[in-house]
Amino acid sequence: MSDPLHARPHERKVVLSLAGITKRFGAMTANEAVDLDLHAGEIVALLGENGAGKTTLMNILFGHYVADEGEVRIAGPEGQLVPLEPGSPHAALNAGIGMVHQHFALAENLTAFENIVLGTRPLLSPSTSSRADRQRLEALMRDSGLTVDLDLRVSRLSVGEQQRVEILKALYRDARVLVLDEPTAVLTPQESEGLFATLRQLAGKGLAIVFISHKLAEVLSASDRVAVLRMGRKVADLPTAECDRQKLAELMVGHSLSHSRREPRAPGDVLLAFEGVSAGTGREAVRDLSLTLRSGEILGVAGVSGNGQAMFARLVSGLERATTGRILLAGRDVTAQDARAMIAAGIARIPEDRHRDGIVGAMSVAENLVIEEIRSERYQRFGFLDFSAIAARAREAIDAHDIRCRGGSAISRLLSGGNIQKIVLARTLDAEPMVVLAAQPSRGLDIGATGEVHRRLLAARARGAGVILISEDLDELFALSDRIAVIHRGQLSVARDADELDRATVGLMMAGHAEEAA
Amino acid sequence: MIRFEPRETVSPFLRVGVPVAAALAALALAALPIMAAGAPVLQAYALMAKGAFGSFFAVSELLSRATPLILTGLAAALAFRARLWNIGGEGQLYAGALAAVAVGSGAISAPPAVMIPLVLLAGAMAGAMMMLVPALLKLRLGADEVVTTLLLNFVVLLFVQMMLEGPMKDPMGMGWPQSEPMADAAMLPKLFDRMRVHAGLIVALVTALLAHILLARTVWGFEIRAVGENQDAARHAGIPVTATFVRVALFSGALAGLAGVGEVAGLKGYLTADLSPGFGYAGIVVAMLAGLSPLGVVVAALFIAGVFVGADSMSRAIGVSNYLADLVVATSLIAVLVSGLFVRFRVRLVGPGRRASAGKDIVA
């Protein structure tokens, strides 16, 4: 290889080689002349920002896409590299490439066992649980340390267990190469550690493993080698031992980064209070929530996705009514208010799913910037829209926040996630609200856009607003929060000073071990 | 192999060109049954065009046929913009006609300046009420409005038949199931002597312009578009989603009701149970051909009316059944629905045996 950083000679054999892969979508180049070799028994992290081309590259490897140039070669029986048929997931599977997608491809109404053996046997096979298959799979579970209850339906397994089923599925098909797309996105810190321990064990048995990530901490702790993609090109390929956070971050974004810092600040009056609030039913319910949010503080809410954060955010947003308890905003009861009243009362809401709840994709940037205030005197007269005021507001917001688009009339759906989030931030924060609810505000954003989100939340705190930050990212929570509470199965722990907490404690509380750990 | 790739932007040329192509495709496909009927295809089309545009009388017929189609087309277009699937235009049209007769056939007597607005208002309100019920069922109970509005069509038509056989039957009607005639003062004036085109056309055109202004330039229109494009985001941004649905439902029903008023008070002069040859349903085709644009509805309604009027005329001349018109209308709906795929996606042909290294045929 020509890459100078890739100096250390590998004693282990190459099982898979990507050679000069280029893939274009229209005018955009997703991958450009990417080379990557995988060796047996090694764990490679594929690091890059959103849109850097990580997933495209892996989809080419797995045959979902056909590369415009270059080819995928896989080691044959004698170790020689032979080209893999492009565009055929079937050929990739037969060659021993297993892929665990970010969104699992499991049949929820079948058992774990059925999911694993599905497709490995003829369609008209008379039974779904032959003894030989079962024994082979159990041996595999013992060897790999991946245990799941094979007879439970997948819908009843936890997310971590479903991921284990996906990995077992690949191993059961004799995978030599295992690809995992953002495997820790849905796991607790402890589950992530368990996953990487398992991967290490699998690599020890000679499996080649690639995982896609944009989290620096896990890349540094879990990989042997890091390949960094930036704007479709491989910009670095080096042993993990030679890296540190700063270096990887700079390789990823292409320039050095400045960190936003939380200045010490004495919290002020109570702005928002939840008093024993319950709402919803089933998995998404919240029970007996109590919290106080003060002026000039960021209150972090940690938790694994699906533990009631969505319902909590909907309550603060005025989209859901509490069945019991009270919500007080600066001492005033706002329990039964709707979304418009919450906006008018001075609560800025940054929704978790910005594509679904944040913007109307088919409407323009300008329209999305004014949608919350469309009935205010500023943008309408007697029910008729004031187009010049709307256009002026769009120009102002686009300039002030560097929203990259072809002007206010551009259709919002076509913008990148970071720019869509800038629209939401401009719309909600420019009016200087007293309370800010930010639900997973940096999810899926690259480092630059994440920095912008953090800067704006800290600016809101600095001018005396109270900010609720719901996040699954402990780095983000510890960097920004004055106090942190953990939500688990719909219940919120008492918020404690972030300085008194550490990642391990919060991680345990996220997994439900509240009292023992605290 | 054929691949579909989403388009980033849709050019105005495509936006207009695709429905035109769909209409032409429908006419081309209709050549097959014309041939099967043993008639010369070109002559049949020439006769259709002549029947629709060939004389002042033909144009008057075309415009009088287009009048209800504009209104039912607007009813569908407005509702569909909010993703409220009003399939009940036909029933709302009859409800409007029934109300117009109830008010205009002698119950009140006043000069035309009072009677005409009164009749229009009564029909619009009756149509709106017909749409209020499905809207509330949808919002309160989650009942699918496609089903409720569609089934209400039959309920309303049967109700009209009952009224025409019973309380509203014209005693002077020689036993025919028809209503008493409208009072002269309640009739919409004709636009030209001895021509059937009436002032309802003016009402329809002004309504189309108002609907355009409503959608494009008002807060209500902004809210309708937001709710239609992304209900979740609209609700999150504090837009009153329920109120918007109710508002759209009332507008939509009222427009279809006005179509019924026009037919009774502009054309027939009394109500029968065969007042509409499916204008409510054809309005859906009009709206789809128009891409749900209120001004486009006017053009699409003229096209569909031209097909109907032209087919009638051709049928008289060379004996091909005028069911051909229904066929063209139905085919053009299918064609416009299929063409929606081409507006949203670009089609690529990918050679089956293409090797990865030979990728020179990059997307245009």
Residue B354 has pLDDT above 70, yes or no: no
Name which residue leads in pLDDT, B334 or B359: B334
Which comes out higher in pLDDT, residue B100 or A259?
Answer: B100
Q: Give B-chain residues touching A68 at CB under 8 angstroms.
A: 356, 359, 362
Contact A14, A35 (CB under 8 A): no
**Could you say which of B233, B235, B356 has the minimum Cβ distance to residue A67?**
B356
- Looking at chain A, which residue has its C-alpha nearest residue B225? A363
Do residue A375 and residue B219 have CB atoms under 8 angstroms apart?
A: yes
Smallest Cα distance from B217 to chain A, Å: 6
pLDDT at residue number B144: 94
Q: Are residues A339 and A437 in the same domain?
A: yes
How many domains is chain B partitioned into structurally?
Answer: 1
User: Do the domain assignments include residue B47?
Assistant: yes
pLDDT digit string, tens, across residues A51-65: 778 888 888 888 888
Nearest CA in chain A to B226: A360
- Residue B355's pLDDT band (boundaries 50, 70, 90)? very low
* Cβ atoms of A315 and A322 closer than 8 Å: yes
H or E element in which residue A325 lies: strand A324-329
The band of A123, judged by pLDDT with boundaries at 50, 70 and 90, is low
Residues A89 and A118 placed together within one structural domain of the fold: no
Whether A267 and A374 share a structural domain: no
Cβ separation A66–B222 shorter than 8 A: no
Last residue of a domain, one of A195, A222, A255: A255
pLDDT of A256 reads: 61
Q: Which residues of A touch B (CB under 8 A)?
A: 22, 24-26, 66-72, 86-87, 317-319, 338-340, 342-343, 349, 351, 356-363, 367, 371-372, 374-375, 380, 383-385, 387, 411, 414
* B180-213 confidence digits (pLDDT tens): 899 999 999 999 888 899 999 999 999 999 999 9
Q: Is the dihedral of CA B40, B46, B51, B57 positive or negative?
A: negative
Q: What percent of chain B has pLDDT over 90?
A: 62
Is residue A6 situated within a structural domain? Answer: no
Q: Would you say residue B104 has pLDDT above 50?
A: yes
How many other C-beta atoms can be found within 10 angstroms of the C-beta atom of residue A80? 8
- Least trusted range by pLDDT, from A172-181, A225-234, A455-464, B349-358: B349-358
- The whole-angstrom distance between B271's CA and the closest CA on chain A is 38
Beta bridge partners of A411: A364
Of A380, A397, A430, which residue is a domain's last? A430
**Contacting residues for B234 by C-beta, under 8 A, at least 6 apart:** A360, A371, B223, B226, B227, B241, B244
Among the residue ranges A108-112, A338-342, B360-364, the one predicted with the least confidence is B360-364
Looking at the structure of chain A, the number of domains it has is 4
pLDDT score for B359: 34
CB pair distance less than 8 Å for B218 and A383? yes
Determine the Cα–Cα distance for residues A121 and A111; give it in Å rounded to an integer: 16
Q: Are residues A244 and A272 in the same domain?
A: no
Within a domain: A1: no
- Looking at residue A191, its pLDDT comes to 82
Residues A315 and A414 in one domain: no
Whose CA is closest to A495, among A467, A473, A460, A463? A467
The shortest CB-CB distance from B233 to any of A318, A359, A387 is to A359
Q: How confident is the model at residue A136 (pLDDT cuts 50, 70, 90)?
A: confident
> Which of A175, A201, A230 lies at the terminal end of a domain, its last residue?
A175
Same domain, A186 and A171: no
- In this structure, the answer to whether residues A85 and A186 fall within a common structural domain is yes
What pLDDT was estimated at residue A155? 84
Which of A299, A298, A295, A289 is closest to A327 using CA atoms? A289
C-alpha atoms less than 13 angstroms from C-alpha of A57 in its C-beta half-sphere: 34
The per-residue pLDDT of chain A, averaged, comes to: 86
Is the model's pLDDT at A395 over the cut of 60? yes
- Which segments of chain B are extended strands (E)? 2-6, 345-349
Closest of A346, A69, A66, A52 to residue A212, by C-alpha: A52
Q: Do B226 and A360 touch (CB under 8 A)?
A: yes
Q: Which one of B4, B236, B242 makes the best mutation probe of the A interface by having the most chain A beta carbons within 10 Å?
A: B236
Are the CB atoms for A475 and A485 separated by under 8 Å?
no
Question: Could you tell me if A165 and A194 lie in one domain?
Answer: no
Torsion of the alpha carbons at A362, A365, A370 and A371, rounded to the nearest 10: 20
For residue B49, the enclosing domain spans 2-358
Say whether both A489 and A501 belong to one domain: yes
Q: List helix spans (H) across B240-293.
A: 241-262, 279-289
Q: Which range (A7-11, A20-24, A405-409, B80-84) has the least confidence?
A: A7-11
Let me know if residue A5 belongs to a domain: no
Answer whether A68 sits within 8 Å of B362, measured CB to CB.
Answer: yes
Per the CB < 8 Å rule, is A383 touching B219?
A: yes
pLDDT beyond 80 at A444: no
Q: Mind telling me how many Å the CA of B74 is from chain A's nearest CA?
A: 21
Question: What residue in A sits closest to B219 (Cα-Cα)?
Answer: A383
User: Using one digit for the tens of pLDDT, what is the confidence trace for A450-486?
Assistant: 888 999 999 999 999 999 999 988 888 998 999 999 9
CB A238, CB A6: distance < 8 Å: yes
- Is residue A213 predicted with pLDDT exceeding 90? no
In a domain, A355, yes or no: no
Could you tell me whether strands A466-471 and A483-488 are parallel, antiparallel, or unpaired per DSSP bridges?
Answer: unpaired
Contact check, Cβ <8 Å, A24/B240: no
CA–CA separation, B17 vs A58, rounded Å?
39
Average per-residue pLDDT in chain B? 89
- What does the pLDDT read at residue A5? 39
Per cent of chain A over pLDDT 90 is: 41
- Residue with the larger pLDDT of the pair B264 and B105: B264
Percent of chain A with pLDDT over 70: 93
Which helix (H) or strand (E) element contains residue A309?
Answer: helix A309-317
Regarding whether A340 and A368 lie in a shared domain, the answer is: no
Residues of A in Cβ contact (< 8 Å) with B238: 318, 338-340, 342-343, 372
Q: Encoding tokens for residue A294? A: 């003060």
pLDDT in tens, B255-314: 999 999 999 999 999 999 999 999 999 999 999 989 899 999 999 999 999 999 998 888
Same-domain check for residues A165 and A201: no
- Chain B residues whose CB is inside 8 A of the A339 CB are 235-238
Asked if A357's CB is within 8 angstroms of B232's CB, the reply is yes
Residue B188 sits in a domain whose CATH number is 1.10.3470
Task: Give the list of residues 6+ apart from residue A314 with CB closer than 8 angstroms, or none.
Answer: A320
Q: Using an 8 Å Cβ cutoff, are A209 and A42 in contact? A: yes
The Cα–Cα gap between A413 and B233 comes to 13
Is residue B44 one of the residues assigned to a domain?
A: yes
Cα distance between the two ends of chain A: 51
Structure tokens at A247: 């270096």
Does the pLDDT of residue A1 top 70, yes or no? no
In a domain, B363, yes or no: no
Interface test with A, best of B15, B210, B217, B222 (most A CBs within 10 A): B222
Q: Are A16 and A10 in contact (CB under 8 A)?
A: no
- Mean pLDDT over A215-241 rounds to 90
Phi and psi of B132, rounded to 5°? Answer: -65, -40
- Residue B5: the pLDDT is 66
Per-residue pLDDT reduced to its tens digit, B19-68: 888 888 888 888 888 888 888 888 889 998 999 999 999 999 999 999 99
**How many C-alpha atoms does A67 have within 13 Å on its Cβ side?**
30
User: Mean pLDDT, to the nearest integer, of A405-423?
Assistant: 87
Of A338, A356, A385, the CB nearest to B217: A385
Residue type (1 letter), B214: L
Least confident of A366-375, A508-517, B143-152: A508-517
More confident residue, A66 or B230: B230
Mark yes or no for CB contact A362/B356 under 8 Å: no
- In this structure, the answer to whether residues A53 and A85 fall within a common structural domain is yes
Partner residues linked to A69 by β-bridges: A22
Q: Which domain holds residue A268?
A: 258-346+433-518
pLDDT of residue B364: 30
